Amino acid sequence: MSVQNVNHSLFDEQGCRIPFEGMRKFNEISMSYYKINQPKINFEEILSNSQKYANVDSNITAESFEYTCVELKKKIEENFLLENLFKGVYIPFICPKSSSEKDLGAELEKVALPQVASSFKAAYPHLHCNATLQGSFQLSGRLSVSPNSRYEGFIKTHKDKTIVGWYFPQALQEYDIASQSAQMKTLPIHKGLVLSGGLDTAAALVGSPGLLVNENDYPPVLCLSALKHVDERLMLCFKSYGQHLEFWGMSQMLTPKITQVSEQWSGGLTLFAPID
């Protein structure tokens, strides 16, 4: 599929990527069984959580945070191929500039995941957040950026800039991990639009800790598809366990040679820009 040959939005009326030939998707038309409720957008509260639990620069104001996000939204909505992204669930986030940890896996394991846990436990003291990799697998020294994800741009900016933006957690729901990555080849090059990874998704959960808390429906598993583990059988994700929040390295293998396509798995897209 070539972007040049498309004359309609690449996303449907629910903000989900419309599949094309070669993409593996659980349902051609999603049954929307696994749901995230669109939260009310509160930039002040998200910024407060991010400054308190993720050490975001205290000089950043809610006004500048909101302004940058609104400008990003306007630019996406000017592109008819991408405008329907905002018909799905969209979450503003703010991600602090890089910590002293230079390794991608170490930063996720030692910095971002504990920040998610602190924010979640403060908001839901009666629930638990298990923000460590389950089993004997490790993150430090084991992660790289997945090809085609465009996530290199996020990591490069993150090294010395605070990042703000929008997280679209259900844009790629029901696709297998390979298709989530492959579809990026057919998205128009739009500055700051990348496949969602670990630091941006963690930042979204720090700012909006109740994202996967859903008392009436089952929420999806949030795949961190821009990240690749050295053990290619694994996919990294955040998932709910009841109302609790957990981080997992799950096998994506249905058989030794065939990867899983799950109704519950959801890849995300991230739209970002530096704020300082």
The predicted pLDDT at position 167 comes to 98
Indicate if the pLDDT at residue 1 is higher than 60: no
pLDDT, average across residues 93-98: 96
The predicted pLDDT at position 198 comes to 96
Q: What percent of the chain has pLDDT over 90?
A: 75
CA angle 16, 18, 21 (to 5 degrees): 145
Indicate if the pLDDT at residue 265 is higher than 70: yes
Find all residues with CB under 8 Å of 177, minimum gap 6, and list them.
223, 225, 235, 252, 259, 265, 267
Indicate if the pLDDT at residue 260 is higher than 90: no
Q: Pick 21 or 203 by higher pLDDT.
A: 203
Q: Pick 90 or 140 by higher pLDDT.
A: 90
Distance CA 230, CA 251 (A): 13
Indicate if the pLDDT at residue 74 is higher than 70: yes
Establish how many alpha carbons lie within 13 A of residue 200's alpha carbon, considering only the half-sphere containing its beta carbon.
37
Lowest-confidence region among 84-98, 122-136, 203-217: 122-136
The predicted pLDDT at position 7 comes to 62
Q: What is the pTM of this model?
A: 0.94
Establish how many alpha carbons lie within 13 A of residue 24's alpha carbon, considering only the half-sphere containing its beta carbon.
11
- Under the banding of pLDDT at 50, 70 and 90, the label for residue 133 is low
- Per-residue pLDDT reduced to its tens digit, 210-259: 999 988 889 999 999 999 999 888 899 999 988 899 999 888 888 888 88
Domain ranges of the chain: 40-274
Average pLDDT of the chain is 91
**Number of helices (H) and strands (E), helices first, in the chain?**
7, 10
pLDDT, average across residues 196-202: 97
pLDDT, average across residues 171-190: 94
Distance CA 260, CA 252 (A): 5
State the DSSP H helix or E strand holding residue 202, giving kind and residue range, or none if neither.
Answer: helix 198-207
